[in-house]
Amino acid sequence: MLVRPRRNRASHSLRNMVKETVLRPSNLIYPLFIVDGENTKEEVKSLPGNYRWSLDLLLEEIKECVDLGIQSFVLFPAVEEKYKNSTATYSYHATNFYLKAIKTIKDKFPEICLMSDVAMDPYSSDGHDGLVRDGKILNDETLPILAKMAIAQAEAGVDIIGPSDMMDGRIGFIRQELDEAGFKNTAIMSYTAKYASAFYGPFRDALDSAPKAGDKKTYQMDPANATEALREAELDTLEGADFLMVKPALNYLDIIQLLKQNSDLPIAAYHVSGECAMLTAACQNGWLEYEKAMPEALLSIKRAGADVILTYFAKDYAKMIFDGKLTI
Ligand code: PBG
């Protein structure tokens, strides 16, 4: 036998020498849920280890994460039912606690990269990402609402706007409105290929944002489709997106690879709540080993082509490196 691939696997140092994929904490974005009020830290039952934080405690949590090497966060608001209505007006209202939180976080931690969520669902009495009329999700009528939300978040100081709504034309619309309002340097990470997935359950529990009627299949993509993701990617690129995102991640590694090979924009992948919950549940049952399975799952997403990963495991991953349990 002349050729023996095992020779390059013989020792830790050799394996490290030929390692093709490296996942650094700086590649990760940590999703955090925020509620109005004080001194609150409620665990999301279906997503153990994740909480609805009030701002005072969230600031301490962010400090802890920053000390572990995490530089980027995405913030989602859990809004009280009384502030929800059919047009999501609270999303850009001056008294919105989410906007105040963005400002406070950026004042306290100017060096971090903070990303927002743009979609109507956390504020909508219908629980949909767009405006609902007669059971239909209206596209063009939703765009001005999303743009108002984006401008309010940009004013509050967010670094990256994250439209997660999947309305057609929203990236171009939001980009133009942001520019006209003077926010030329606020980036947009488009949820480009966001699928109508069954893996968002724990997230909807966290925000109490599930649709009141119907599903999201008329705007989110069909899990059966791949070529259509290229079409979405082309549009978002032309409309001025700074990042393209695939969501979910682990079940959609082929889509991540497809976009990476066909785009010169950075590709992000959202390792969604249901994907994280599955792994956590298996580990809690003793069926998988968390400190081995979790880094392997994240590495797989990076290897498929994601430059950036949004994951609820970000803190644990960074902590493993910080504690010297994982070398990268
Ligand atoms: C909604 C939104 C969802 C997620 C992020 N933004 C859920 C949905 O589309 O219903 C899911 C994230 C996750 O599951 O972790 N705009």
The Å distance, Cα 52 to ligand 1 centre, comes to 15
CA separation for the pair 202, 47 (Å, rounded): 6
For residue 220, which atom of ligand 1 is closest to its CA?
Answer: 9
CA separation for the pair 310, 29 (Å, rounded): 5
Task: Confirm whether 11 is domain-assigned.
Answer: no
Structure confidence at residue 328 (pLDDT) = 85
Q: What are the pLDDT digits (tens) for 116-151? A: 999 999 999 999 999 999 999 999 999 999 999 999
Neighbours of 153 (CB within 10 A): 30
Report the pLDDT averaged over residues 285-298. Answer: 98
Selecting among 84, 194, 302, 315, the annotated active-site residue is 194
Tell me if residue 194 is catalytic: yes
Asked whether residue 230 carries a pLDDT value surpassing 90, the answer given is: yes
pLDDT confidence band for 162 (50 / 70 / 90): very high
Stretch (H or E) spanning 35: strand 28-35
CB-defined site of ligand 1, < 6 Å: 117, 119, 121, 129, 164-165, 200, 203-204, 216, 272-273
Task: Confirm whether 69 is domain-assigned.
Answer: yes
Mean pLDDT, the chain, rounded, equals 97
Q: What pTM, to 2 d.p., does this model score?
A: 0.97
Selecting among 84, 148, 216, 247, the annotated active-site residue is 247
Structure confidence at residue 225 (pLDDT) = 98
Structure confidence at residue 251 (pLDDT) = 97
Report the pLDDT averaged over residues 181-205. Answer: 97
CA separation for the pair 142, 131 (Å, rounded): 5
Report the pLDDT averaged over residues 203-211. Answer: 91
Stretch (H or E) spanning 207: helix 201-207
Task: Confirm whether 59 is domain-assigned.
Answer: yes
Report the pLDDT averaged over residues 86-108. Answer: 97
Asked whether residue 205 carries a pLDDT value surpassing 90, the answer given is: yes
Task: Confirm whether 17 is domain-assigned.
Answer: no
Share of the chain above pLDDT 90, in %: 98
For residue 209, which atom of ligand 1 is closest to its CA?
Answer: 10
The Å distance, Cα 201 to ligand 1 centre, comes to 8
Out of 142, 194, 252, 272, mutate this one to test ligand 1's pocket (max ligand atoms within 8 Å of CB): namely 272
pLDDT confidence band for 209 (50 / 70 / 90): confident
Structure confidence at residue 111 (pLDDT) = 98
Q: 143-156 vs 97-108: helix axis angle to the nearest 10?
A: 30
Residues of the domain holding 34: 22-322
For residue 310, which atom of ligand 1 is closest to its CA?
Answer: 15
CATH number at residue 303: 3.20.20.70
Tell me if residue 63 is catalytic: no
Report the pLDDT averaged over residues 212-227. Answer: 96
- β-pairing, 72-78 with 51-53? unpaired
Q: What are the pLDDT digits (tens) for 13-64? A: 999 999 999 999 999 999 999 999 999 999 999 999 999 999 999 999 999 9
Task: Confirm whether 4 is domain-assigned.
Answer: no
Task: Confirm whether 191 is domain-assigned.
Answer: yes
Q: How many domains does the chain have?
A: 1
Task: Confirm whether 5 is domain-assigned.
Answer: no
CA separation for the pair 106, 159 (Å, rounded): 9
For residue 312, which atom of ligand 1 is closest to its CA?
Answer: 15
Task: Confirm whether 7 is domain-assigned.
Answer: no
Residue 248, phi-psi category: left (phi > 0), alpha (psi -120 to 50), beta (remainder): beta
